[in-house]
Copies of this chain bind each other. A is one copy, B any other.
């Protein structure tokens, strides 16, 4: 298989500096766009959307620590052991994080968002406008443990 190189289009400043699981909902973060990668008009029109999908890199995770099989989410044995592709754990191959955030402000070379679960300094790989049409088509089903795990996430 080929390998591919990605480079950040920007980085996060966030009041959150520790890797912790919960209470991300009220966090306001700024994503600074790297002017050596994108031109100023890369953000043009983004303010007409209410939400963005932020794709980022868990750069503080050692790639060697990536889970390649299964585990109990958060190590909690009350929940079933599930594969890394059946959970959103940060210890994953390629270390890619993905979160839909509320867009608060679009500046000349930055955006402000709420609910970004990435710590201060996190590299950003992409930002996409959230389009309703790209949401799940058809009824969504998920196992019981998800709502327990997500109880205090936001």
**A interface residues with partner B (beta carbon < 8 Å):** 1-9, 11, 25, 33-34, 36-46, 48-53, 55, 57, 59, 68-70, 80-88, 92-96, 98-100, 102, 115, 123, 125-143, 146-147, 150, 153-154
- The minimal Cβ–Cβ distance linking A152 to chain B, given in whole angstroms, is 11
- The minimal Cβ–Cβ distance linking A129 to chain B, given in whole angstroms, is 5
Q: Are B123 and A1 in contact (CB under 8 A)?
A: yes
Given contacts A50-B136, A88-B131, A129-B146, 9 further A-B contacts (CB under 8 A): A38-B68, A39-B68, A42-B70, A49-B142, A50-B138, A85-B127, A94-B125, A131-B146, A137-B154
| Given known contacts A88-B134, A133-B153, A142-B131, A93 and B37 CB-to-CB distance under 8 angstroms | yes
Among A4, A88, A92, the most chain B Cβ lie within 10 Å of the Cβ of A4
Name A132's closest neighbour in chain B (CB-CB): B140
Residues of chain B within 8 A (CB-CB) of A33 are 85
Q: Are A43 and B85 in contact (CB under 8 A)?
A: yes
